[in-house]
Structure formats: structure tokens, C-alpha cells
Amino acid sequence: GPTALLSGGNHGDEYEGITALLKLANRLQPEEMRGRVIIVPMLNHPAVLNGTRTSPLDGGNLNRAFPGHPAGTLTEKIADYLTRYLVPLCDLALDIHSGGRTLDLLPFAATHRMSDRGFEARCLAAATAFG
């Protein structure tokens, strides 16, 4: 079956995605699944431990560090790992954000314009299914 990459904690002060993904990881039953789910609940672990939007180690905003760099800062290395190793494994990637300490967001789902129109259409369908 397909592979889904589910991530949270891109910004370290956005606990909703982290909490939801930790709960999901404990509830999934492999015998009830088809395919593979890769869950990374705390993408920017230093920022999560610090309770801040950006990394306390290098000041990096992970969401602005893509595609990353293998010899860059820690934040750039995390982005590079996602870009070169995890994302190519998946048919679907969902990165959960919320407002953190500074923003109050209404629930929404979004995707990006992509050069691969088929992939873009699948992403739009997933965002629409999210409600």
C-alpha cells in the first residue's frame, strides 16, 4: 500500500500536531493498515524541547529551511534529511501546523503548486478530504 509521512513540531511551540501524532502513533494497529505510516511528531526537536518557534541551537525556522543542506546548520540538516530521504519514500506528506504562541489560526488545509501536476492534484484531493 501507499506510504504516508505525517509530521508535526516543525515549529516547536505548536503542540497540537505533536500531541495528535503521538496519540495516533499509539493507536495505529498494523494489522488494520495497508501500506506504511511514517510519523515524525517533533521535526524540530530542539525547538520543541525549548518551547519556541525556532531552534535555540541555530535560530533556524525549519519551515523556511527547505530544501535544506547536508552540511548546513542543524535546522538545514533536518530539512535536507526530510527532502532527500523521507519525502521521496512517501505518496502523501502531511505537516501539521498551528498558531503556536503568537498566532490564532482557523482550521484549514493547504497544498503547494508543483511541477508534477498529478502529484499536485493528489495533494489538493487530500487537502479537500481533510475538510
Site residues (CB under 5 A) for Zn ion?
A: 11, 14, 97
Residue 3 CB, nearest approach to Zn ion (Å): 23
Residue 112 CB, nearest approach to Zn ion (Å): 15
Q: Which three cell numbers, joined as nine digits, stand for 18?
A: 505533536
Residue 86 to residue 50: CA distance in whole angstroms: 25
Q: Is the Cβ–Cβ distance between 57 and 33 less than 8 Å?
A: no
HSE-up (13 A, CA, CB side) for residue 89 = 14
Residue 97 CB, nearest approach to Zn ion (Å): 3
State which residue, 36 or 94, has the beta carbon closest to Zn ion: 94
State which residue, 33 or 101, has the beta carbon closest to Zn ion: 101
- Classify the C-alpha dihedral 36-21-62-126 as positive or negative: positive
State which residue, 76 or 98, has the beta carbon closest to Zn ion: 98
